[in-house]
């Protein structure tokens, strides 16, 4: 439990935001509900009696300042993050409080490091982007697998999803990202991001049992290509997605997630399998669980807890793997994921 500190949640009424609000309450924090839609905010507040709610627009700095007043930290759950991240980070810097987001938009993640690394460091404020299933979990797994290695030749992060029913926010974020990169796909190779017009490869990935070998889309690039290279000397970082899940995402009429339990989680399951290689040696880590949107909540709330209790390695803009003790962080998620480290 915590000391009842107040944590502002921007985009609290969204699909992921609701999971984050519930997780904060479960961990003993007091969520302060915020977002751009005043009507949705009031509806959410009605279901959480006693919680404060403050609407704010990202183009109104004064409203954002009022929204964060009295908060110990802010979690941004409102996409597209290309629109929301910078204004909310600016407000967090003015308030002198930590900022964390759940962005899986590669361009927005890059912008956060590029525009706020020096300013956040100078202010002594922690700024964490992609503290979510995509970007955060993979980064923690790669960092844990690296252990005492200071560099590696390559890192591979394979996402074994039983399926993918994307939220409206996921679809909007994907549209924004595609527009920003002019429809090209992206990969991280030779120590830099490359933009390509060709089709990604399809191959087999040897997931641990019981999933086993599955067809995946190679170079299905996610936020890990920003978070991992931000602090680890690995020139090749590649992510993969099971073919079925990639197909669900590509299909316009795939329905949004449907709750199947009292926590509001969908029936979707995931297995994230990581391999890092250096010379002729290979190390591996994997994590499995239920619902990629729901798991983001314990990831970002554990991060808030560690930031506010001083369990961090640096200040400024940093990824999860750079900021936290990766094995310890992952083990703290044991109520939510099954973890295996093989070195």
Domain boundaries, the chain: 6-132+296-326, 133-291+333-342
- Judge contact between 322 and 126, C-beta under 8 A: no
CA distance 23 to 179: 33
pLDDT of residue 214: 98
CA distance 215 to 245: 11
Confidence of residue 1 (pLDDT cuts 50, 70, 90): very low
Cis geometry, peptide bond prior to residue 72 (ω within 30 degrees of 0): no
For residue range 289-343, what is the model confidence (pLDDT) as tens digits? 999 999 999 999 999 999 999 999 999 999 999 999 999 999 999 999 999 998 7
- Judge contact between 148 and 244, C-beta under 8 A: no
pLDDT of residue 227: 98
Confidence of residue 3 (pLDDT cuts 50, 70, 90): low
DSSP string, 165-218: ---HHHHHHHHHHHHHTTT-EEEEETTEEEEE-SPPPEEEEEPPTTT-EEEEEE
Cis geometry, peptide bond prior to residue 210 (ω within 30 degrees of 0): yes
What is residue 253's three-state secondary structure?
coil
- pLDDT > 60? residue 2: no
Mean pLDDT of the chain: 97
The two domains 6-132+296-326 and 133-291+333-342 share their CATH topology (first three levels equal): no
Structure tokens at 208: 């641990």
- Give the residue from 22, 130, 115 showing the smallest Cα distance to 316: 115
For residue range 272-290, what is the model confidence (pLDDT) as tens digits? 999 999 999 999 999 999 9
Distances (CA, A) of 81 to 12, 168, 267: 14, 14, 27
Q: How far is CA 172 from the centre of its chain?
A: 16
Q: Taking residues 15-39, what's their average pLDDT? A: 97
The architecture that CATH gives domain 6-132+296-326 is 3-Layer(aba) Sandwich (3.40)
- pLDDT > 60? residue 150: yes
Q: Taking residues 180-190, what's their average pLDDT? A: 96
Topology of the domain comprising 133-291+333-342:
Dihydrodipicolinate Reductase; domain 2 (3.30.360)
Distances (CA, A) of 298 to 131, 155, 222, 252: 10, 25, 20, 29
Provide the percentage of residues in the chain whose pLDDT is more than 90.
98
CA distance 249 to 309: 38
For residue range 50-98, what is the model confidence (pLDDT) as tens digits? 999 999 999 999 999 999 999 999 999 999 999 999 999 999 999 999 9
Residues 213-230, buried b or exposed e (16+ Cβ, 10 A)? ebebbbbbbbbbbbbbbb
């Amino acid at each position: 439990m915590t000391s009842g500190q107040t944590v502002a949640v921007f985009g609290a009424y969204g699909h992921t935001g609701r999971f984050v609000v519930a997780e904060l309450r479960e961990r003993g924090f007091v969520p302060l509900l915020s977002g751009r839609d005043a009507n949705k905010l009031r509806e959410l507040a009605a279901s959480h009696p006693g919680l404060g709610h403050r609407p704010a627009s990202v183009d109104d700095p004064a409203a954002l300042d009022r929204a964060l007043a009295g908060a110990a930290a802010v979690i941004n759950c409102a996409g597209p993050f290309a629109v929301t991240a910078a204004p909310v980070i600016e407000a967090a810097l003015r308030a002198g409080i930590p900022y964390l987001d759940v962005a899986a938009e590669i361009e927005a993640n890059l912008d956060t490091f590029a525009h706020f690394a020096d300013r956040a460091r100078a202010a002594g404020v922690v700024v964490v982007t992609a503290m979510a299933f995509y970007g955060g979990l993979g980064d923690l797994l790669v960092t844990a697998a690296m252990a005492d290695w200071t560099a590696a030749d390559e890192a591979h992060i394979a996402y074994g999803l039983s399926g993918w029913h994307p939220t409206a926010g996921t679809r909007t974020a994907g549209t924004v990202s595609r527009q920003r990169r002019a429809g090209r796909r992206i990969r991280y190779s030779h120590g830099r991001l490359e933009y390509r017009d060709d089709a990604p490869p399809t191959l087999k990935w040897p997931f641990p049992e019981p999933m086993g070998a599955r067809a995946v889309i190679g170079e299905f690039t996610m936020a890990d290509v920003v978070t991992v290279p931000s602090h680890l000397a690995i020139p090749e970082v590649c992510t993969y997605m099971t073919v079925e899940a990639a197909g669900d995402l590509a299909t316009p009429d795939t329905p949004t997630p449907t709750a199947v339990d009292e926590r509001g989680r969908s029936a979707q399951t995931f297995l994230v399998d990581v391999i890092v290689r250096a010379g002729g040696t290979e190390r591996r880590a994997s994590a499995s669980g239920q619902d990629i949107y729901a798991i983001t909540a314990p990831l970002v709330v554990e991060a808030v807890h560690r930031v506010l209790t001083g369990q961090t390695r640096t200040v400024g803009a940093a990824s999860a793997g750079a900021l936290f003790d990766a094995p310890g962080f992952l083990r703290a998620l044991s109520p939510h994921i099954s973890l295996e480290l093989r070195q």
